[in-house]
Amino acid sequence: MADLELIDCGDGRRLERFGGVIVERPAPMATDAMQLRPADWAKPDLRWSKGAWTRGAAHDPWPVAAAGLTFECRPAAGGQVGVFPEHAASWSWLAGAVREASDRLGRPPEVLSLFAYTGGASLACARAGARVAHVDASRPAVAWARRNAELSRLADAPIRWLVDDARAFVRRERRRGRTYDGVVLDPPTYGHGTGAWQIDADLDALLEDLAALAGRRPSFVALSAHTPGYDADRLAALVRDGFGVRADGEPLVLRARSGAVLRLGAWARGGAR
């Protein structure tokens, strides 16, 4: 991905390029030593440290291209900038899964995208021809995703933008008898607010409800996680056992220009393709 590059990582930090902007921020999984010299890390455009942007906090938004999509990046809470580079490879897989489902079904597939953040997976599916329900509990994140749809020339794509709790939305959809051909979800370890999400306590029940929405032969399922203990094998087993499909998984890995490797979780995919 030309606009997304891990430059180096190590000693609990990561140095990345998003388009023309260099960002330094924490990376707890980067436990090895940095490969580049300290001078190469000295002057990023943005730096997140100790819970705040300590450099470049007022940086103007800027566009970044990835997987045929365009995203608006900007300094955000938690040290985020609006794109998870480790997910870019999964967007290409999703686009292929949507096209195969369209051919098999003879119509645009209906896709449910949960914990959908700024829209990478949702937009990849929509660009490939799916009708998408994009669900995230954060109103600012959904607004950001809609901005990314505009930048990606998908403002008129058939996407329902829904600010809602994933568990509550899925339960309501199940009661309504709604069905989806494809399911994509990237659950966090913990959520916020009353009745906050906890992956260990809540994921199994959510997957059970999603399996009911996806039916006996879902076109595709993609499940990712950045939570320790949820490796590729475990996620693949959850997809396989929960949805009754063949599934495989792999780590979410970024390889740096310096030669360093950053492991950021895992993802699994399965279904009829």
The tens digit of pLDDT for each residue in 194-253 reads 568 899 999 999 999 999 999 888 999 999 999 999 999 999 999 999 999 999 999 999
Domains in the chain (CATH in brackets) are: 4-79 (2.60.40.1180), 85-271 (3.40.50.150)
Query: Containing H/E element for 126?
Result: helix 120-127
- Span 79-101, mean pLDDT? 95
pLDDT band at 273 (very low <50, low <70, confident <90, very high): low
Q: Quick one: pLDDT at residue 192?
A: 66
Cα 158 from chain centroid (whole Å): 20
Mean pLDDT over residues 90-99, rounded? Answer: 96
- pLDDT by residue (tens digit) across 54-86? 999 999 999 999 999 999 999 999 999 999 999
pTM of the model: 0.94
CA dist list (Å): 162 to 83, 141, 202, 219, 233: 19, 11, 20, 23, 31
Over the stretch 106-161, which tens digit does the pLDDT of each residue have? Answer: 999 999 999 999 999 999 999 999 999 999 999 999 999 999 999 999 999 999 99
Neighbours of 242 (CB within 10 A): 21
Beta strand pairing call for 182-185 and 62-66 = unpaired
Q: Where are the beta strands (DSSP E) in the chain?
A: 4-10, 13-18, 21-26, 46-49, 52-55, 62-66, 69-73, 110-114, 131-136, 159-163, 182-185, 220-225, 247-255, 261-271
Q: What digits encode the pLDDT tens for the residues 21-37?
A: 999 999 999 999 999 99
pLDDT on residue 2: 79
Share of the chain above pLDDT 90, in %: 93
Which amino acid belongs to residue 66? A
